[in-house]
Amino acid sequence: MLGLYGLVSYAVSERGPEIGLRMAMGATQRDVQRMILRQAAGLGIAGAAVGLGLAGAVRPIISRMVQDVWISPPLVAATATLLIAVVLMAAWLPARRAARIEPTLALRAQ
């Protein structure tokens, strides 16, 4: 979890001047938080979709090696939901921190 948090935090810190410019142009703190959380959710959904696709593709191969491999659809849905929740939790604190960026300091740093 700390690794994912660090990755999201780094990505947000790299976008400091962009976020400062958005806030200088009138974006609210809520808009900035929503933007970052929406992008993180998109990455989480994409990751879940790729994982589900790969699981579906690998299932026949595993079924040949091990008999009676059955994947429960509710378990798969719960796992994908948990993945997206973890991504959003990892992005929440960096999103809050980014929303508190002073536009003048962020623009001056560039």
User: How far, in Å, CA of 72 to CA of 89, rounded?
Assistant: 26
Neighbours of 106 (CB within 10 A): 20
Orientation angle between helical segments 29-65 and 16-24, nearest 10 degrees: 140
Quick check: 12 and 94 in contact, CB under 8 A? yes
Indicate if the alpha-carbon torsion angle 47, 52, 57, 60 is positive or negative: positive
pLDDT, tens only, 34-51 = 999 998 899 889 989 998
Residue 1: pLDDT over 60: no
Whether the pTM exceeds 0.85: the reply is no
Q: Are 17 and 107 in contact, with CB atoms under 8 Å apart?
A: yes
pLDDT at 106: 66
Residue 1 DSSP one-character state: -
Percent of the chain exceeding pLDDT 70 equals: 93
20-35, pLDDT tens digit by residue? 888 888 889 999 999 9
Q: What is the percent of the chain with per-residue pLDDT over 90, rounded to a whole number?
A: 21
